[in-house]
Amino acid sequence: MMMITDREAKGRGRASSRARLKLTGALLLLTVVFALLGGWQVQRLFWKLDLIARVEARVHAQPTPAPTRAEWNEISGEKDEYRRVTATGAFSHNKSVLVQAVTERGAGFWVLTPMLREDGSTVLINRGFVPSDRREVGDRAGGELAGNVTVTGLLRISEPGGAFLRSNDPAHDRWFSRDVVAIAAAKGLQDIAPYFIDADAAPNPGELPIGGLTIVRFRNSHLVYALTWFSLAIMSAAGAYLVYRQRIKAG
C-alpha cells in the first residue's frame, strides 16, 4: 500500500487551494466581462429604440423637396434615410435598370429609372416592383410616363456591391442591389444624387410598376442579447462563490 506523508498531503492541499483560487479569479473576471457586454447591449437597445422612433417620424412626416446638389455632401443614412421627399423631372426610361427583388408580391424586379431634374442633376427613382413575367418594357409600356412628373417617396441610401453572395454585374446588366454609383457609371449618368427614392403607392398607368412596397423594419434583438450576457454574468458569479466556499471549507 502506498503511504502519503503529511508533507505530501499538505503540498497537495496547497496546490488544490491555489487551483481553486485561480478558478475563482477566472470566474470573477468572466463575471465582469459578461456584465460589461450586457451593459453595452442595453446601450444599443436604447440607441435602436431611438432610431426606430426617429425613422417612424420621418416616414409619416409631410414630404419635403429631395436634397439638391448643394446638400448632397451633408446626407447621411442616420439622419436622412427614410425621409419622405418629392422630386420633379423627366424620366429617362431608356436608361432604366432592373434590380432583382423579393417582395410580398413574390419574386421580380425593382424598376430604377433616372429622373432629370430642372437644375440639370439626376436622381434615381425606384418606381416600384414588376413581376418576373412582366420585366420586358413591352409588357408594361403603359407605365412609361412621359414629360415632367412629380414623385413622392422615401429617400434611400445607395446599396453598393450587390447582395449576399451575389455581386452586381454591370457588364451584363445584372443587378442585385441599388448601387447608385455603379448604375450611374454603367448608364453614363452625370451629376447624379448619392441617393435614390423609393416611390410611394401612387398608381402608375397600367398598374406597373407597383410602388409603396418599401419595408421599414429594424431587427432589434438587443434585449435578448443583454439578458443572455447578464445571465452568464450571474452564473459566473455563482460559480465563483461556490468554488471559493469549497476552498474555505478545505482549509
Where residue 115 falls among pLDDT bands split at 50, 70, 90? Answer: very high
Average pLDDT, the chain: 78
Contact between 8 and 206 (Cβ < 8 Å): no
Query: Rounded distance, CA 176 to CA 165, Å?
Result: 10
Bridge partners of 175?
A: 99
Inform me whether the pLDDT recorded for 246 exceeds 80.
no
Digit-coded pLDDT (tens) for 131-180: 887 777 776 766 677 778 888 888 888 888 776 667 888 888 888 888 89
Cβ neighbours of 107 (radius 10 Å): 11
Q: Of 72, 96, 212, which Cα lies nearest the Cα of 152? A: 212
Query: Rounded distance, CA 80 to CA 70, Å?
Result: 15
Q: How is domain 83-207 classified at the CATH fold level? A: OB fold (Dihydrolipoamide Acetyltransferase, E2P) (2.40.50)
The pLDDT, as a whole number, for residue 50 is: 64
The pLDDT, as a whole number, for residue 9 is: 44
The whole-model pTM stands at 0.65
Digit-coded pLDDT (tens) for 22-70: 777 787 888 888 888 888 777 777 666 665 666 666 767 788 888 888 8
The pLDDT, as a whole number, for residue 136 is: 77
Report CA Rg, the chain.
30
The pLDDT, as a whole number, for residue 124 is: 92
Three-class DSSP category at 10: helix
